[in-house]
Structure 1
Amino acid sequence: MKLNRRSFVKWASLTPALALPAFACSTSENQDSSPPSSAIQPLNLAIQPISREERLSRIAKAQQLMQEQKIDALFLEPGTSMKYFLDFDFFLSERMVAAVIPAKGDISYICPGFERDKVEELVKFGNQVLTWEEHESPYALTAKLLKDLGTPNQKIAMEERCRFFLYEGIKNETARLNFVNGDGVTAGCRMYKSLAEIALMQAANTATIEAYKILFDSLEEGMNQYDFRDIAADAHKKLGFNGSIGANFGEWSAFPHGSSKTQVLKPGAIILADGGCTVEGYKSDISRTIVFGEHNDRQKEVWDVVKEAQTAAFELAKQPGTTCEQLDAAARAVIDSAGFGPDYRYFSHRLGHGIGMDGHEWTNLVRGNDTPLQAGMCFSNEPGIYIVGEFGVRLEDCFYMTENGPQYFTQPSPAIDQAFA
């Protein structure tokens, strides 16, 4: 199977040797309502940043994977993978700032000469910072670094989000080297979350559920989706987090990612909301579909089918050996059998995606991905039915795999008129 975001090659050696215990969701899921905005207090969550020791273990695992895959070095530029391994965060521009993690040896950084002091302030792992002046080539400097590190396999991995002009520039200076997608290393580490990562994702989900409660208590006839978005951002902020939740009303909820047209909330309209927040770099992603006022039979029929599909996928995840594509098939079978098929006609997207430091990351619950579920993997479970001209329904809760099966970060909605468990 080709290695990419839609299908991830199963590296047998990557299965984490740990059992993840179930985390108790600390949200007040049984509350009937939330306090008024003026009374909202920051959530008192026990948030522990990722430790230096854990990052060192990530670097060691990346080097182990490189050695197994006969890769000489991994090239990173600023982004979530560089943050994941090196706790290094820098902005992107046309000037190269990068790090090279060799299969063996110390980490090196490359930056413009005038940025050296700033970069050195940010470096926490490794101590070699190589610089280039404005008239010089960072690509030639990188080529020399790779030569000095030693490249017996003549194989360099580049993180998948690395921009093309950097790849091209370095490749032109190192004709003897082969460049490969670095997913086998980066995803090979990041797909499997540690206990510390799970805890941070739990905190993010807890915060977003509380923001949803505040938000749904603030709904008013005549508001538009931008009012909705602003209230959601303010709720997250008052709770002590940066987050956002968007929504589409009525017929525009049939667009899975919404419409840019201004929508006005009216009684009886479906509200399809989707959003999350970030805690220490880790994401939440939750969708809720409710009706503003009284629902009708048609809305309930569709909502109940989506709920059944979400439940079917989660229940299947409890069976050892289940693959990613089997979860998608289980949810799709429920929707098809209810008359909302065939195939992608109304359930127009995959069942779910991986989640962690990126809102969408490895690997996906989608047809063709025969990767087995393993402890530490985290996914969204988000079936939907979208009927253009009427409305759409999507229910999304994220879960993580333990040695004993799946555990939700948030409890799914029990019914169309009960958004929270």
Structure 2
Amino acid sequence: MTTSVAPFTADDFAARQRRAVAAAADAGLGGVLVTPGPDLVWLTGYQPTAITERLTLLVLTPDAPATLLVPRLERGDAEASAGAPALTFADWSDGDDPYAAAAPLLRPDASYGISDSAWALHLLGLQDALPASSYRSLTHALPMLRAVKDDAELARLAGAGAAADQAYGEIVDVRFAGRRELDVAADLADLLRRFGHEQVDFTVVGSGPNGANPHHEAGERVIEEGDMVVLDFGGLRDGYGSDTTRTVCVGEPTAKQQEVHDVVRAAQQAGVDAVRPGVACQEIDRAARAVITDAGYGPQFLHRVGHGIGVTTHEPPYMVEGEEQEIVPGMCFSVEPGIYLAGEFGVRIEDIVTATDDGARRFNTTDHHLRVVS
């Protein structure tokens, strides 16, 4: 499937880098250190072809140009990245001490935010080279760095959501009964790729009692008539994530199956309805959870109600009790309550939404009613 989104430019990456430096200063940090992973892609457009033990480090500080330290053998690839014009480059060779190469780029006694994906090997190496320095994970130090999306990012997330919806629109027409969960999961992965996903991250197919495990991986179980089946699937399209869940029934549902699905559907709607600027993230969880608790299934709702999404399918902010970060327009996250009845079945319904000036806009719009499949 051909897409037509415009690529991000060096100016886009430079603006993100300035945003990161400003956020670090507000948090009392001397700068931001970024190793290979989603933060590096978001800030530079560069993703090494192979993440190895060799140190790659983006250094963002208020008193120096944005500098990317790379192994010399990978410098050519780094200089070809979309964000390269916004960067200064430094390199080191095999046999050199990479931490000695990094040290001149840093203040010896500063505190830095560092990527969650940084290897312990590299963090310990920096601490040895700069014993007076200190480090905080970016999730804790700058949790909102990537949380608020611009228009170009919102367009990519909307496209990813629409593509996942197209996949769901076709998977409900395949045969479920008599096939393994793995077979349906393979169909879902093929559909996601057909509708433009360059990366499939997960295809959860939880049938019957397996659906009561929220993170069940598709397995050898043969789907049977009467099963509820949780379908949770997503990945990356144009570099941004999709993640949606619907629960279907193989044949007509029992009264109990229909009741549980109706409760989850009402809870999911309550969570979406609670989204508006200025509301704490935890209120989305509370709104959805209250519906499930009032229906008598509170202990069977086992997880938070949502997570952020962007260049990864799970990132801050999290819609969970205790998260007091206020929602602002442009935040994008899931709303996905569920009920899990051990030994019987599970139900989950999930949409990705973005906060707007006055509420929420869904990126998933497929029907929330219980779909009967064959």
2:229 partner SS? strand
Q: Higher RCO, 1 or 2 (CA under 8 Å, sep at least 6)? A: 1
- Given candidates 240, 249, 253, the residue that maps to 1:295 is 253
Pairing of 1:36-75 with structure 2 (within 5 A): 42=1, 46-75=4-33
**C-alpha deviation, 1:52, in angstroms:** 3.1
Q: Cα deviation per residue 1:42-71 (whole Å; 9 max; x = unaligned)?
A: 3x6542333333222211211222333343
Question: How do 1:160-199 and structure 2 match up within 5 A?
Answer: 160-183=116-139, 187-199=143-155
1:325 is the counterpart of 2:286: no
1:203 correspondence with 2:159: yes
Displacement of 1:136: 1.9
| DSSP-derived class of the 1:288 partner | strand
Query: 2: CA distance between counterparts of 1:308 and 1:262?
Result: 32
Go from structure 1 to structure 2 and tell me whether the alpha carbon gap of 1:240 and 1:281 turns closer, same or farther (over 3 Å shift): closer
1:372 partnered with 2:326: yes
TM-score (norm 1): 0.82
For the 8 Å contact 1:278–1:284, the answer to whether it is kept is yes
Q: Which amino acid aligns with 1:264?
A: V
Are 2:338 and 1:389 aligned?
A: no
The whole-number CA distance in structure 1 between the counterparts of 2:142 and 2:41 is 12
State the 1:155 CA deviation: 2.2
* Cα offset, 1:289, TM superposition: 0.1
Q: How many residues align?
A: 369
Amino acid corresponding to residue 282 of structure 1 in structure 2: Y
SS, match of residue 258 in structure 1: coil
The residue aligned with 2:96 is 136
Partner SS, residue 80 of structure 2: helix
The CA deviation at 1:405 is: 1.4
Question: 1:140, CA displacement in angstroms?
Answer: 1.3
Question: C-alpha deviations, 1:384-412, integer Å up to 9, x for none?
Answer: 00001110000000100011211111125
Cα 1:89–1:240 change in 2 (3 A) is same
1:106 aligned residue (54, 62, 65): 65
**Cα distance between partner residues in 2 of 1:247 and 1:105:** 49
Secondary structure of 1:311 counterpart: helix
Task: Check the 8 A contact 1:250/1:391 in 2, yes or no.
Answer: yes
Does 2:105 correspond to 1:145? yes
Alignment partner, residue 269 of structure 1: 227
Displacement of 1:126 after TM fit? 4.2
| Letter of the 1:383 counterpart | P
- CA positional deviation for 1:313: 1.3
Q: Please report the TM-score for the alignment, with normalisation by the length of structure 2.
A: 0.92
Letter in 1 for 2:231: A
Distance 2:368 2:44 in 1: 41
Please list the CA deviations of residues 337-363 of structure 1 after superposition, one character each: whole Å capped at 9, or x if unmatched. 11112xxx2000001111111111001
Alpha-carbon distance between aligned partners in 1 of 2:144 and 2:325, rounded to the nearest angstrom: 12
Which ranges in structure 2 are unaligned for 5 or more consecutive residues?
none
Judge conservation of contact 2:144–2:316 (CA < 8 Å) in 1.
no
* Pair 1:114–1:410, CA change in 2 (3 A): closer
Q: CA RMSD in A?
A: 2.1
The aligned counterpart of 2:308 is 354
- Further displaced range: 117-126 or 154-163: 117-126
Counterpart-to-counterpart distance in 2, 1:259 and 1:412: 23
Q: Give the distance between the partners of 2:87 and 2:296, measured in 1 at CA.
A: 61
Quick one: distance in 2 between partners of 1:402 and 1:78? Answer: 32
1:253 match: 211
Query: Identity over the aligned pairs, expressed in percent?
Result: 29
The equivalent position to 1:93 in structure 2, one of 52, 67, 86, is 52
Q: Shift in Å at residue 237 of structure 1?
A: 2.5
Distance in 1 separating the partners of 2:227 and 2:45: 45
Deviates most, 322-331 or 296-305: 322-331
- The answer to whether 1:315 aligns with 2:273 is yes
TM-superposition CA deviations, 1:159-197 (whole Å, max 9, x none): 222121111101111112222333477533311011111
Measure, in 2, the Cα distance between the counterparts of 1:259 and 1:64: 41
Q: CA deviation at 1:291?
A: 0.3
